Amino acid sequence: MTMLYLFGKAIASILAVIMTLFTLGSGTGELHTVKAPEEHPVVFSVLSDAHIEGLDQEFTFTKSYGALTKVLDDVSLLAGRNDALVFLGDNTMNGQNIENLLFYGLVNSMNPADKIIVTAGNHDFSNGEGDYEEYKNRFLYYNNAFFTKNLTEPYYYQVVKGCYIICLSSEDATVNDMYLSDTQLSWLKSVLDEAAEKKAPIFVMSHHPADYLAERSSDELTDILNDYDNLLYFCGHTHREYDQYSVYTLNGVDCINLPKVTHKDEAGTGIGAQVEVYDDEIVVRIRDFYNGYYLEGQEFIYPIG
């Protein structure tokens, strides 16, 4: 346990208390429950593009930090508790140490779910303006320090109560696409094969949409994913408002593109996904975690074959 970790956790704990006083308690307060609790589903939340900022001239970090505090509070209030919380990248604005301390320290101190799974985005790798290896190692350090992981690459997977949650990552300082090496794709296939052999539900988490590929044809990744059943692909990056086009099928792969979870005002803030895995189906319910309610008519069911 390093001094950086202890400092970050202490600062984040203090800020979390301050932000709680100013941001919580103004939502609708709709009960946060799963659809069929008596069936004891595996449950996890998915959020994207927190974009926690360091101190700047407008002190906008207080708005993104405060919004995320309120969102995490709602995640933590799920009756029965979430098995996991997944972030889809662009957790920070510039990948700065202060931003990482704020993000990881806040999530660690609020402890909103049993497991925390963080995917990297282009902004976490300096948005194309810094040395990729430096920012990659920074991403690995904070994940390992705050969530007691032992990551050696930014792409990895975790099994949560039998469900495979696979995190992809660009391997270069790209911005609007992701560079996936042959090594990563080979690794991905091996993990998918392992999950398929166990007939496990598969959730592929990536910051970029599946066709945003650098130096590859746009359907190369979906061609791989399309060979597997019981698979959902989650992504962010686009910042587009949640609408009828956010849940879609791409080359046979079921995809869900989530918007930016924090904004400088309340409009559009807090939208994410609540995933419930039952014996025979996966249920995805789109939730406004900032105001505390599920979006009407935005429930999607994927049968498990």
Please give the residue range of the domain that contains residue 88: 3-303
Residue 49 burial (10 A CB sphere; 0-12, 13-18, 19+): buried
CATH of the domain at 26: 3.60.21.10
Q: What is the DSSP string of 218-257?
A: TTHHHHHHTTSSSEEEEE--S-PPP-TTSEEEETTEEEEE
> Mean pLDDT over all residues of the chain?
90
- pTM attached to this predicted model: 0.92
Instruction: Dump pLDDT digits (tens) for 113-133.
Output: 999 999 999 999 999 998 999
Q: What local confidence, expressed as pLDDT, does residue 57 receive? A: 43
Q: Which residue has the higher pLDDT, 65 or 195?
A: 195
Domain count, the chain: 1
Smallest CA-to-CA distance from 68 within 271, 295, 207, 294 is with: 271
